[in-house]
Amino acid sequence: MVEIPRTEDFTAEAVGEQVLLDGPAIPCSLEPDRAMHLADLLTDAAVQAAGQRMMSKSS
């Protein structure tokens, strides 16, 4: 697994009818619906990970 310590190094912007996600060694272009799906996946995973972190800190 690759750990990305600095999210500030990533950008996401609309370029025409595509969403361009750019970061260290992972530039990619996505259709808008795929970009929203990826955002949903990232949000869900982040919420789950944050919950696990909170639970482990409270133990």
- Would you say the pTM of this structure is higher than 0.85? no
Q: What is the pLDDT of residue 5?
A: 63
Residue 18 lies in a domain: yes
Q: Is pLDDT of 3 > 60?
A: yes
**1 within some domain:** no
Segment 4-52, tens digit of pLDDT: 666 777 888 888 877 787 887 777 788 888 889 889 888 988 888 888 8
Predicted local distance difference test score (pLDDT) of residue 9: 78
Question: Is 50 a domain residue?
Answer: yes
Give the domain extent around 19: 7-57
Q: Is 28 helix (H, G, I), strand (E, B) or coil?
A: strand
- The per-residue pLDDT for 49 is 87
Cβ within 8 Å of residue 35, ≥6 positions away: 12, 19, 21
Q: How many domains does the chain have?
A: 1
